[in-house]
């Protein structure tokens, strides 16, 4: 009896730049890179020592402001794709750290570095670019403190994409269900009208989401789309 044919493993990029590499999702992306032999440039605002175990061919780049085009261009040089791992942090109200306030700088720096692929993480609660904000995002945007600032920032990125930001790039907006307690299983990805055909509202682990983002950076299955990426619907 012959064994059934097996699918080849998904293609992966050779070298990625990771914005927000010191956070939970960023560290997970770096773990997958180390395991798969993918070179990385870990972009952090400060304290580069937080990124340990940097393999040969990889490096840590300190970029204190996302408005610094020269520093970003240097960090993006030689990479195949840029992945963001920016979430709700104490610096969410600092314009120099916000992607929404610096998308023109990121776009120009990527083009200067001859890179045109970016995978941007967001939240499952946002509507796709060009559509009105979801009821959940409208609610959380009015919550005081870090949660409200973070929700407003995530929606601002969606609005900017809907208004033509990153128009010269092959972007994917990952509307992700992910947290540290999520299941370590391959997520489903869907762009159907209501996002319920394949997806639940349940999160996957940082490692599972990091691997999916790396695979999408090479597969280009959702270019200029905003898939929901979460646990498979039962």
CA dist., res. 82 & res. 129, Å (int): 20
Residue 6 tokens, joined: 């097996």
Q: Any idea where the domains of the chain sit in the sequence?
A: 15-124+164-230
Task: List Cα–Cα distances, 111 to 51, 69, 70, 82, in angstroms.
Answer: 26, 11, 12, 12
Residue 175 tokens, joined: 């509307």
pLDDT bucket at 89, cuts 50 / 70 / 90: low
Q: What predicted TM-score, i.e. pTM, was given to this entire model?
A: 0.93
Model confidence at 196: pLDDT above 60: no
**CATH superfamily of this structure's domain 15-124+164-230:** NAD(P)-binding Rossmann-like Domain (3.40.50.720)
Q: If you average pLDDT over residues 87-91, what whole number do you get?
A: 62
For the chain, the residue count is: 234
Residue 164, classified by CB atoms within 10 Å of its CB into exposed (0-12), middle (13-18) or buried (19+), is: exposed
Model confidence at 184: pLDDT above 80: yes
Which residue reads 């920016």 in tokens? 86
What pLDDT was estimated at residue 177?
Answer: 95
CA dist., res. 67 & res. 72, Å (int): 8
Q: If you average pLDDT over residues 57-82, what whole number do you get?
A: 97
Which residue reads 């349940």 in tokens? 202
Residue 197 tokens, joined: 């055909």
Mean per-residue pLDDT over the chain, rounded: 92
What pLDDT was estimated at residue 5?
Answer: 63
**Side-chain-side CA neighbours of residue 151 (13 Å):** 20
Which residue reads 């695979």 in tokens? 215
Tell me the three state secondary structure of residue 142: coil
Percent of the chain with pLDDT over 90: 79
What pLDDT was estimated at residue 232?
Answer: 92
How many Cβ atoms are within 10 Å of 196's Cβ, its own excluded? 12
Q: Which residues, other chains included, contact 191 with Cβ-Cβ below 8 Å and sequence gap of 6+?
A: 128, 222, 225, 226, 227, 228
What pLDDT was estimated at residue 234?
Answer: 80
């Amino acid at each position: 009896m012959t064994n059934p044919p097996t699918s080849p493993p998904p293609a992966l990029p050779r070298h990625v730049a990771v914005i927000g590499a010191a956070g939970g999702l960023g560290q997970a992306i770096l773990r997958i890179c180390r395991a798969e032999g993918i070179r990385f440039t870990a972009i952090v605002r400060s304290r580069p020592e937080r990124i340990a175990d940097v393999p040969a061919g990889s490096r840590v780049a300190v970029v204190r402001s996302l408005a610094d085009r020269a520093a970003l261009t240097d960090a993006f040089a030689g990479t195949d794709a840029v992945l963001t791992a920016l979430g709700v942090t104490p610096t969410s109200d600092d314009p120099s750290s916000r992607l929404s306030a610096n998308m023109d700088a990121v776009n120009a720096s990527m083009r200067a570095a001859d890179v045109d692929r970016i995978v941007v993480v967001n939240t499952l609660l946002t509507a796709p670019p060009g559509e009105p904000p979801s009821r959940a995002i409208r609610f959380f945007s009015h919550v005081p403190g870090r949660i409200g600032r973070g929700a407003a920032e995530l929606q601002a990125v969606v609005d900017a994409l809907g208004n033509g930001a990153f128009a010269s790039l092959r972007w994917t907006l990952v509307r992700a269900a992910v947290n540290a307690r999520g299941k370590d299983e391959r997520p489903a990805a869907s762009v159907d009208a209501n996002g319920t055909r394949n997806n639940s509202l349940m999160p996957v682990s940082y490692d599972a989401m990091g691997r999916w983002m790396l695979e999408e950076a090479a597969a280009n299955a959702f270019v200029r789309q905003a898939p929901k990426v979460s646990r498979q619907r039962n």
